Amino acid sequence: MTILVTGGAGYIGSIVTEELLKEKYGVVVLDNLQQGHREAVLPGTIFIEGDLGNKILLDSTFHSYNIDAVIHMAAERVVEYSMTDRQRYFKNDPYLCQNK
């Protein structure tokens, strides 16, 4: 089983990835490194640097790696942006606020 971890280069995403690898899952990490760190991506994963908003990249990733499940860990960590730049938060989950 192959699992896509969005935000897998972040603190929590890298811990989730570590646990998945321990359980022998295949792991693909997708992260734009805006707030994550390439060094946090563990050996044994496939790393794709890119943005969730890139539909072509997502389609290609799902097709190329036969993704079975997604764990969505990509998020903004600066709380201030939730008040000053709401669209920045909504970009991480386009289904959350389709009409905003």
Pair 67, 85: CB distance under 8 Å = no
Mean pLDDT, residues 49-77 taken together: 89
Confidence of residue 88 (pLDDT cuts 50, 70, 90): low
* Residue 36 confidence class, pLDDT cut points 50, 70, 90: confident
Closest to 71 measured CA to CA, from 11, 23, 20? 20
Q: Is the pLDDT of residue 94 over 80?
A: no
The gap between the terminal CA atoms of the chain, to the nearest Å, is 35
For 26, the 3-state DSSP assignment is: strand
Give SS3 for 42: coil
Confidence (pLDDT) at 93: 55
List the Cα angle 5/58/17 in 5-degree steps.
Answer: 10
Residue 79, pLDDT above cutoff 60: no
Which CATH number applies to 2-90: 3.40.50.720, 3.40.720.10, 1.10.10.10, 3.30.365.10? Answer: 3.40.50.720
Statement: residue 46 has pLDDT above 50: yes
